[in-house]
Amino acid sequence: MFKIQTLNKISEKGLGLLPGESYSISEDGTNPDGIILRSYKMHDMEIPASVKVVARAGAGVNNIPLDRCTEQGIVVFNAPGANANSVKELVIGAMLTTARDFAGGVAWTKTIAGEEDVAKVVEKNKSNFAGGEIKGKKLGVIGLGAIGVQVANACSALGMEVYGYDPYLTLKAAWNISSSIHQADNLDKMLKVCDYVTVHVPLNDGTKGIINAENMKLMKKNAVILNFARGGIIDDQAAVDAVAAGQIAKYVTDFPNNTVIGKDNVICVPHLGASTDEAEENCAEMVSQQLKDFLETGNIVNSVNFPSCTLDYNGGTRIILATKECNDQMNDLLKGLSAKGISTEGMASQHRGEIYYNIIEVAKGSDVAELVEGIKSSDCVLIARVID
């Protein structure tokens, strides 16, 4: 029986993938095998030694101490792309809202309640909220991962001229990009020509402040910047100052803070990017399946701290071995199996930086526990586990 602790409310549709006869799920589990969470901040949490896997029902993992998890041999999963449609729709909605001053118009109508001839007042004042169309406008998309690609393709279909900037574009993402998307190889050049700029990259040292006071000076005076990725990717103070100075028209952020709240032409959305029932269900289903596959077979898909590694399960006994900096223990393990007359029936090995991950399958019921236990003592070993 695997014990799973949930640190946030997780969709039942996702948890339903973990059968009750094999999984015990609770909010305050003791010595859990796995943890599922959304936004709970784990940095100050003492993670029990029993934990083998942490599954984040979302894309970002800033709330998880990745280095500590790796050192403890804990595989961390996320759900890339599961909330992509939810974010895409909100980005498009935000662009339409800024183009037509939808929010300003709606707020104004509340002030005319009780007027004798509301229709006449509306007709007289509607020009105050006139706007433009997004069709034909130029959109710059920074980051062409699961979300960025969907935003780019959808906006192109709406008639926008779309530019995509991503120096780390993956082959998988490239296959999904519409041929109508222009590839931008220089961020500053793209910023100069775009009416709208939206960011869809993770927050790290390379992306923090990717749009800042310096490159905002290059942008059009009617430009709108949208951040539905992570707080910190846009320099908030610089954006507020640029709007106030008339360097850009508007700034939309999904990450309110005291720097941006209450400022003219700065629209703060209360972190709604992935807040749809469908996105929450998709994320929960994805990470629950990944957690289940890892605990039951050792297979890794969509981990943020260990390499992806899978081996078709044929019902045998499995040895999971993960090491750091060297993989000599894998050779020791294979020699030990050979000495015991145990032949391998399947094997997969992958590495990611200094982390090596190995799956070995032998005949069901093979006596390998003592051999694996002996390998655990090495300082290089992060995971040494038998799945029987």
- Does residue 368 contact residue 317 with C-beta atoms inside 8 Å? yes
Mean of all residue pLDDT scores within the chain: 96
Backbone angles phi, psi at 184, to 5 degrees: -105, 125
Residue 307, pLDDT > 90, answer yes
Query: What pLDDT was estimated at residue 294?
Result: 99
Cα–Cα dist 253/264, whole Å: 13
Q: Is 237 left (phi over 0), alpha (psi -120 to 50) or beta?
A: alpha
| List of domains in the chain | 1-78+276-306 (3.40.50.720), 83-268 (3.40.50.720), 308-387 (3.30.70.260)
Query: What pLDDT was estimated at residue 4?
Result: 98
Residue 286, pLDDT > 90, answer yes
Residue-wise pLDDT for 222-272, tens only, equals: 999 999 999 999 999 999 999 999 999 999 999 999 999 999 999 999 999
368 alpha carbon, distance to own chain's centre: 38
Q: How many residues does the chain have?
A: 388
Query: What pLDDT was estimated at residue 188?
Result: 98
Residue 65, pLDDT > 90, answer yes
Cα–Cα dist 359/329, whole Å: 13
Please give the full DSSP string across 5-66, using - where no structure is assigned: EESS---HHHHTTS-TTTEEEESS-SS-SEEEESS---TTS---TT--EEEESSS--TTS-H
Query: What pLDDT was estimated at residue 130?
Result: 93
Query: What pLDDT was estimated at residue 172?
Result: 84
Q: Where are the alpha helices (DSSP H) in 267-327?
A: 277-297
Q: How far is CA 301 from CA 180, 298, 387, in A?
A: 31, 10, 18
Cα–Cα dist 47/68, whole Å: 9
Angle made by CA atoms 38, 42, 44, in degrees to the nearest 5? 155
Residue 177, pLDDT > 90, answer yes
Local structure of residue 217 (DSSP, 8 states): T
Please compute the mean of the pLDDT values over residues 363-388 and round it to a whole number: 94
List the single range of 99-103, 220-224, 264-268, 316-320 with lowest mean pLDDT.
99-103
Query: What pLDDT was estimated at residue 60?
Result: 84
Residue 327, pLDDT > 90, answer no
Query: What pLDDT was estimated at residue 386?
Result: 97
Query: What pLDDT was estimated at residue 170?
Result: 87
Query: What pLDDT was estimated at residue 93?
Result: 97
Q: Pairing between strand 317-324 and 355-362?
A: antiparallel
Residue 377, pLDDT > 90, answer no
Look up residue 107 and give its two tokens: 């707020």
Please give the full DSSP string across 311-355, using - where no structure is assigned: ----SSEEEEEEEES--HHHHHHHHHHHHTTPPEEEEEEEEETTE
Cα–Cα dist 345/334, whole Å: 12
**Nearest C-alpha neighbor of 229 from the set 169, 142, 295:** 142
Query: What pLDDT was estimated at residue 148?
Result: 97
- Does residue 304 contact residue 79 with C-beta atoms inside 8 Å? no
As a whole-number percent, the residues of the chain with pLDDT over 90 amount to 93
Please compute the mean of the pLDDT values over residues 277-293 and round it to a whole number: 97
